[in-house]
Each structure stands twice: as C-alpha cells, then as structure tokens.
Structure 1
C-alpha cells in the first residue's frame, strides 16, 4: 500500500503553525471518532483506533505506514507567537493547566511572567536561559522537530540543523505553509482525494494579555538569533512550493536540485 493511498493520515503539529485549525478541518471532514488530536505517539497502535492522528510529535519518533504531513510558519512570527502562548499560562484562569506541567517546564513558564515582552534585551535574556537542553523547547523548534527524535536532540550549528531538517522534510508526503493555509489545505484535501473543500477555523491563537511585537527592529533582530536554522528551512520550503516544476520530472530529483541551489547561495 503506497503512502498516498493509505487511509491513515499523520499530522506533525509544530506549535504555533495553525495546527489546531488544520486538525479541526480533518475532524469536520472525517468525524471526531476518526481523529486523535494532541496525541503523544504516532505508531501502529495509534492508528488502530483513528484514521487521523496529530500531535506535537518529532518526525524521528514516527513509526507508521501513513500519509504524513506538516505545516511550517515564518520563523519570526512562530517564535513570537510561541512566547506569547507560553505566557498565557500565567493568567489566573489557566492556573489549573499550569499546575499540570512537569516542574521544570512550569518553572520556565512562570519565569516568563517576569520578562518584559516589549523589550528586546529582556526577551534575549530569557531565551539565553533556555538553551538546547532546556525542557521548554523554543529556539529553532520547527527544524528540531523535523530533524530529531524528542529525546535525542544533539547540538549542531544552525547550518547543519537546517540542512538535516531540509533532508527530513523530503521524507514527508506533503508540507504546507501557515501563510498560505487555505490554498495549501485545499491542495492537501485534493491529494487525499477528499470530495469537499477544507473548512478552516481561526483557533488556538495566543491568549496572552501581552504582545511580542516582532515588527520592532530590535525585537526582530533578537528573535532572528534563535531561529536561524528555521529561517533557512522556511526559505527552502517557500522556494520549493513556489517553483513551477514540470509534471514529467521526478519530484524528488527536483527537490534535491532546489536544495543544492539554496546551499550554493549560502556560500
């Protein structure tokens, strides 16, 4: 059974990339009883109960025969949104949810309450205290989730991480962009041979009462320091999706050719 014809669908939900909206479109299409959302595993057993499985799952942890896809987002917007999402757990009405996190993760969430999210220096200080081995994953998260298993993240340069993530991206059956969500979801539904158009809802947006304004030059410059690998990954994805490839050629060959061109431009 080929991946394209597989009735099983796996969605690697990278935080703050419109993933809840994507997942709910599948719930609307397939029915809630056929969808497992916020799963922590994507293995054979999870597909015994559900046709569609999604969760914050690293690509390296996936063990399945299924159609597999993800969505990426402009890295500056993604990390800004992620910081605001972390911050919202400090609001009194989310206290019960905060208490459900492991102590080391909860400490990182509570710490951000004392950070000035309008200050580039304050944001920089916070992110410096959450390095690669931090339990609260923030920097280059899109590349990290594509490149590794959750418990086997290793230190490497931004260039090496981006290159590894780009290679692993080629293992997916489809990837879309948050910025072209409607069009890419329509393409995905056609690829899956669904007879209807995706119904999208704007869901799970940041509930923080404070804002990380990524439009400010200083804030943008600081954030970019923590998503350099993601920026190279995103650049590759945008170029791969926008280039009109001839149908007659092998798509994997064309992806490799585009990848080499991007690498050459970096030198």
Structure 2
C-alpha cells in the first residue's frame, strides 16, 4: 500500500542517521521534518523499536533496515550503529526539561499511556518534583546522563548501581563525544540548520514546532525548597550539559572557519 503522507521535497540521506531523542528537547520537530520527506519504510521513530526482538543481534539488524532511526532509546541500544551513521542528539537545561515534561504529563492521552503522567496528575507539581516513586525517578533523576551512559529505566540503573557518580558522568560524556553533532534546545534553529547542512539537505528549518508547550511552567512556579530539591536530582545532568555546550561551541567554531 503506498505511503499516503504528503511529501515535502523528499530527501536522499548520504548515510543512515541516528537521532538519540531525549524527551522534551524539541526532538519531535526533527522527527516530523524527516517523516514528511522520507518514505514510511525508511523511518523508525518514537516507540517503533519497542516492537523489535529483544536479542541484541536481531534488534540491531532491524535498526539497520532504516535510513532514519530515532527514539527515546539509550546509548547502549544504538552504540554499534554510530560509527556507520550520522548521529546526533539534543540536550536541554535540566530544570526546564523537567518542567516541560510535567506540563506534557497533564495531557489526558499521556495519562492513559504512562505511569509517570498519572503520577504527575495525582501528585501535583511540587510533590511530583520530590517524589521517589520509581516511575518518577526514572524520568527525573539525571535522566539525560543515564540515557547517554546506558538507558534510564530502572533495570539499567540497577545494572550500573556499583559505579560512582563520577564514573557515570565520565561514561556519558565519553559517549556524547561519539556523536557527529550535539545540539542544544536553546539554539535549536542553528543546530538543526547545521545538521541539515551536514546531511547535504538544502532546506530551511521549519518555523512550526511540534508539541510546543503552551503556557510553559518556569522556575517562578516553584518554591525555593522545591527548586533546590529538583536541582539536587539533576547535578550530573548539569555537568553533562556543560560538556555538551563545550562540544557545541567547538563545532560552531569549526564550521565558522
């Protein structure tokens, strides 16, 4: 059956693309861009990979069938693909990311599907930010660091329970350096423009953002105690973000020259 989606100037990728999508970093806009320009059978996105066989060889074989692979998977899921692909990711200020996640959890559709969204609904903002429920901890406690080190699910955190915070951060920063481009949500347009240039795609960055938060929450919505407690949960993510900014500035300087 032919793909019924409208194609907007279809693109030919010079090599496979891997996008490690961290939730609430504006990544859905990137996925949407490629969904409009590639055939459906060339794209694996969002939770598609969850349907693949669990054994490593079969999982990786499935991923290699696609030209564009994205999802909320961890580094460990795509590590073997990075060398042969153009790989990128985006990071975001950790507090801003969590506040955006909380607001997204208020959607009824999210609450039907995800335990963390139901927890956000039931607990309210400040109780959610300090909750130790497993479904909340997975999504809050240094999630960006865990996703770049391995993956953020409880079983992955248990598997690395014996390493120190310093070792976990070193693992995540080392993995981050394997990506061809590390973008920042705060400089989304210029970063996505560079990614398109790297892929020889001569098309503008879309102006419309997918799932852009309406009436976003800010730090002003939090008490000092709640903000401090949240920041305590995100120390490694802030260190990772600092490293990402250094990588980003180096890339920017390279292309400027």
TM-score calculated relative to the size of structure 2? 0.74
* Inter-CA distance 7–213: structure 2 relative to 1 (3 Å threshold): same
Tell me the CA shift for residue 9 of structure 1.
0.6
Task: Out of 58-67 and 222-231, give the one that drifted further.
Answer: 58-67
Answering whether residue 56 of structure 2 is matched by residue 40 of structure 1, we say no
Matched residue, 2:18: 10
Structure 1: state its 5+ residue gaps. Answer: 248-267
Q: CA RMSD in A?
A: 2.9
Matched length: 223
Matched residue, 2:177: 170
Say if 1:73 and 1:234, in contact at 8 Å, map to a contact too. yes
Structure 2: state its 5+ residue gaps. Answer: 1-12, 51-58
Task: Out of 174-183 and 194-203, give the one that drifted further.
Answer: 194-203
Say if 1:9 and 1:53, in contact at 8 Å, map to a contact too. yes
Answering whether residue 78 of structure 2 is matched by residue 55 of structure 1, we say no
Matched residue, 1:143: 145
Tell me the CA shift for residue 124 of structure 1.
4.4
Alignment of 1:36-115 (within 5 A): 36-38=44-46, 39-40=48-49, 43-48=60-65, 50-62=66-78, 63-64=80-81, 65-88=84-107, 91=108, 94=109, 98-101=111-114, 106=115, 108-115=116-123
Matched residue, 2:218: 213
Matched residue, 2:134: 130
CA–CA distance in structure 2, aligned partners of residues 164 and 152 of structure 1: 14
TM-score calculated relative to the size of structure 1? 0.72
Instruction: Show CA shifts across 1:128-174 (max 9, x none).
Output: 33389x5x432211111100145433234443322221111011121
CA–CA distance in structure 1, aligned partners of residues 141 and 208 of structure 2: 27
Matched residue, 2:54: none
Task: Out of 160-169 and 227-236, give the one that drifted further.
Answer: 160-169
